[in-house]
Chains A and B, each alone.
Chain A
Amino acid sequence: MSIWEYANPVKFMRTSGAILPWVVAGAALCTVAGLVWGFLTPEDYKQGSTVKIIFLHVPAALMAINIWLMMLVTSLIWLIRRHHVSALAAKAAAPVGAVMTLIALITGAIWGQPMWGTWWEWDPRLTSFLILFLFYLGYMALWEAVENADSAADLTGVLCLVGSVFALLSRYAVNFWNQGLHQGASLSLAPGERMAAVYRYPLYLTMAGFFLLFLALLLIRTRTEIRRRRLAALLARENRA
């Protein structure tokens, strides 16, 4: 069996329909349990109860970057192998990525105000995240602006390649420029920097929940795009007849 079999829309619809209920159940369970567990964690000695924001901020930021990288992979598959399902998967993922980026930006601003004394700072990581959000908006706008679906997939694929620089920059900005307010990696394994287990385990659970939530939304949205494309093809065929 080859992975390219799933580039067949019929095969994709059949397989995604079978696994979707399990993914939805897993997403609901992990996200709700993780957020409730995180909300009930004790106050941090430095940050007080604002530490609870980490259970939203970190998983959302992680997904914001990784969704763009997933879009990069599926866009490259489209550009190289011309599999329509991969282009539609990239299109389907973008609004979810934009929402994850917005959640990371909003929770970061809300968290930053009491901790840093400011809602916003032109810090390398914050700025690259804002640019990533603008790339998400531009990517979605480009899909809507181009009438021909294949041309739209080509153009958005190229835009995705360019935006990947900012997706990676938003991940490693703290390492590139040793300045700014934002801290380094939240889940460091370095001795003395490791997060306490009382926060680490619920954070792992919410990260799994956000990943499964993205996967569920991606499958549903890709199925929607395949149906829309099928309907458009049927209407075009009727108009030609």
Chain B
Amino acid sequence: MTELGRYAGTVLAAYGASLVLLVGIIVQTVLANARARRELQEHERRG
């Protein structure tokens, strides 16, 4: 396991904040796409 030394808090904060933002935009993108696809399919099915 890597040693982070006295800057452990700094490194972990940077990785933690970045991962939260990256996961957030990925989840929002996937959910919005699923919703748009579902709404369009339902509308086209109704004719």
**What is the CA–CA distance of A114 and B22 in the complex, to the nearest angstrom?**
24
Interface status of A48 (Cβ within 8 A of chain B): yes
**What is the CA–CA distance of A171 and B8 in the complex, to the nearest angstrom?**
29
Judged by DSSP, the binding face of B is: helix
**Are B14 and A49 neighbours in the complex by a CB distance under 8 Å?**
no
Q: Report the interface size for chain B: residues with CB under 8 A from the other chain.
A: 30
**Are B13 and A230 neighbours in the complex by a CB distance under 8 Å?**
no
**Are A102 and B21 neighbours in the complex by a CB distance under 8 Å?**
yes
Please name all residues of chain B whose beta carbon is closer than 8 Å to the beta carbon of A96 when the two chains form the complex. Answer: 25
**Are B18 and A56 neighbours in the complex by a CB distance under 8 Å?**
yes
**Are A99 and B3 neighbours in the complex by a CB distance under 8 Å?**
no
Binary contact track A44-88/B, C-beta < 8 Å → 1, others 0: 000011101100110010000000000000000000000000000
Q: Report the interface size for chain A: residues with CB under 8 A from the other chain.
A: 36
**Are A107 and B18 neighbours in the complex by a CB distance under 8 Å?**
yes
Interface status of A234 (Cβ within 8 A of chain B): yes
- Per the 8 Å Cβ criterion, residues 1-17 of B in contact with A are 2-8, 10-11, 13-15, 17
**Are A231 and B22 neighbours in the complex by a CB distance under 8 Å?**
no
Binary contact track B12-45/A, C-beta < 8 Å → 1, others 0: 0111011001101110111011001101100110
Interface status of A89 (Cβ within 8 A of chain B): no
**What is the CA–CA distance of A53 and B37 in the complex, to the nearest angstrom?**
37
**Are B33 and A221 neighbours in the complex by a CB distance under 8 Å?**
yes
Interface residues of B (CB under 8 A from A): 2-8, 10-11, 13-15, 17-18, 21-22, 24-26, 28-30, 32-33, 36-37, 39-40, 43-44
